[in-house]
Amino acid sequence: MRKNIVAGNWKMNKNLQEGIVLANELKELLNGATPNCEVVIGTPFIHLAAVAELVKGSAIKVAAQNCGDKESGAYTGEVSAAMVKSTGAEFVILGHSERREYYGETSATLNAKLALAFANGLTPIYCCGEPLAIREANAQNDFVKRQLDETIFALSADDFKKLAIAYEPIWAIGTGVTASTEQAQEMLAYIRSLIADKFGKEIAENTSILYGGSCNAKNAPELFAQPDIDGGLIGGASLKSADFKAIIDAF
Ligand code: PGA
């Protein structure tokens, strides 16, 4: 059975003290309960160790939002997958459209990052999704298929089984425009069909595929009720503990 996952992506928000307050609020709201989904918070690198320590023993797990594409060495400013792992983080978000768009992340860099994430025992949350012009040209399926073909579809089945996927149409990220439930379900079903073609039906059925893009407490119940939507990658709404908790409770 695939897991339902609600993952927060704080992006470049909250200083260390504010991040600790936010993580602590969420921990208190969960109050020792086991939610009906896996709960992950993706913090900036410098928060990881403190937040991982704070949430130890709770249902909350911690993700980095990126990792380096090299193992170690003279790469000023970079943070390796091994370093991320050593903080107590268990997940790493890879291939977010903001990384692809603003930091020139390519499929080749992503493949290096994926390999290092697996080598260091991190679970990748691999992001894909099309820009507005591609959606308007109704070419989103080919676009997303290409992203997958160039990256995670080149993995071994053993590695592929360990990751989660987040489909995030770029036009819905941070814009307040959510993909309609039908658009999200349709794309996630399509991605699942591609996984079945590539790795077989069983692996496809067991892969967690999340929707991301202006997901909030209001629209989460309808989105999460869809057969192929196994949770959400949540940006803005993960910065308020009560909103994020309400999204978790949508399961
Ligand atoms: P958003 O961001 O929820 O603020 O739209 C989602 C994401 O980029 O992961």
pLDDT over 90 at 221, yes or no: yes
Mean model confidence pLDDT for the chain: 97
Determine phi and psi for 137, rounding to 5 degrees: -90, 5
pLDDT bin (cut points 50, 70, 90) of residue 178 is confident
Q: Could you report the per-residue pLDDT of 72-97, keeping only the tens digit for each?
A: 999 999 999 999 999 999 999 999 99
Determine phi and psi for 233, rounding to 5 degrees: -105, 120
For residues 97 and 129, the answer to whether their CB atoms sit within 8 Å is yes
Mark whether 78 is an active-site residue.
Answer: no
Which residues does ligand 1 sit against, CB inside 6 Å? 9, 168, 173-174, 212-215, 233-237
Distance 48 CA to ligand 1 centre (A): 19
Q: Which residue's alpha carbon is at the smallest distance from atom 6 of ligand 1?
A: 235
Domain 5-248: assigned CATH number: 3.20.20.70
Name the pTM for this structure. Answer: 0.97
Cα separations in angstroms, 197 against 132, 140, 166, 201: 27, 18, 19, 8
Q: Could you report the per-residue pLDDT of 106-125, keeping only the tens digit for each?
A: 999 999 999 999 999 999 99
Q: Could you report the per-residue pLDDT of 24-68, keeping only the tens digit for each?
A: 999 999 998 999 999 999 999 999 999 999 999 999 999 999 999
Instruction: Please state the separation of Cα 108 from the chain's center in Å.
Output: 19
Mark whether 47 is an active-site residue.
Answer: no
Residues in CB range of 6: below 8 A, 6 or more apart: 35, 37, 38, 39, 40, 231, 232, 234, 244, 247, 248, 250, 251
Find tokens 């308007």 and name the residue. 136
- pLDDT at position 176 is 80
Question: Where in the chain are the domains?
Answer: 5-248
